[in-house]
């Protein structure tokens, strides 16, 4: 129980520190380690679980951080939220696509009758899901395109 309280305090310390920061500022791993009193290299799992908890809580108040490889985390600018969300959506689509491919290449001729029946039901739904997500991703790409300079000249 004592360990849980310490972890609770650590994410809150980081959360409070980030609240005082401005959009676009970067918080280095070394600074985070000092704030939460946890080494990224010694206890990686604990370090990143504190980061994850902090990110979840920050999002509830319309603030978030994104990783800067090898450096730390940046407070995401308001105009960058859309791009960040699309990055996560694209990642989810890749996972759906991976699941779809696994079903497509499953050894159906070696499945039991019950296994084959389950496979057919799931495959049918996943095929619909994959098509829907692919269409949605295409639509999001079109909606997210920045206006052409030529179009703005016409206004």
Please report the sign of the dihedral spanned by the C-alpha atoms of residue 118, residue 122, residue 127, residue 128.
Answer: positive
Residue 7 has pLDDT above 60, yes or no: no
37: left (phi over 0), alpha (psi -120 to 50) or beta: left
pLDDT band at 92 (very low <50, low <70, confident <90, very high): confident
| Maximum mean pLDDT: which of 17-31, 73-87, 131-145 | 17-31
Looking at residues 55-73, what average pLDDT do you find? 94
18-22, 49-53, 62-66, 85-89 — which is least confidently predicted? 85-89
CA 48 – CA 153 distance, rounded (Å)? 47
Cα radius of gyration rounded to whole Å, the chain: 22
Residue 5 has pLDDT above 80, yes or no: no
What is the per-residue DSSP string for 90-134?
HHHHHHHHHHHHHHHTS-GGGS-HHHHHHHHHHHHHHHHHHHHHH
Tokens of 131: 């098509």
- Whether the full predicted model's pTM is greater than 0.75, yes or no, is no
Query: Which position has the higher pLDDT, 46 or 153?
Result: 46
């Amino acid at each position: 129980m004592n360990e849980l309280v310490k972890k609770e305090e650590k994410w809150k310390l980081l959360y409070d520190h980030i609240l005082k920061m401005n959009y676009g500022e970067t918080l280095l791993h070394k600074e985070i380690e000092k704030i939460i009193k946890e080494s990224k290299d010694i206890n990686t799992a604990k370090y990143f679980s504190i980061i994850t908890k902090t990110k979840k809580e920050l999002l509830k108040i319309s603030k978030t951080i994104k990783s800067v490889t090898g450096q730390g985390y940046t407070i995401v600018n308001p105009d960058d939220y859309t791009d960040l969300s699309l990055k996560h959506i694209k990642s989810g689509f890749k996972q759906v696509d991976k699941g779809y491919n696994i079903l497509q290449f499953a050894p159906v001729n070696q499945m039991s009758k019950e296994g084959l029946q389950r496979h057919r039901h799931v495959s049918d739904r996943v095929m619909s899901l994959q098509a829907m997500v692919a269409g949605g991703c295409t639509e999001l790409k079109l909606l997210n395109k920045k206006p052409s300079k030529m179009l703005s000249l016409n206004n």
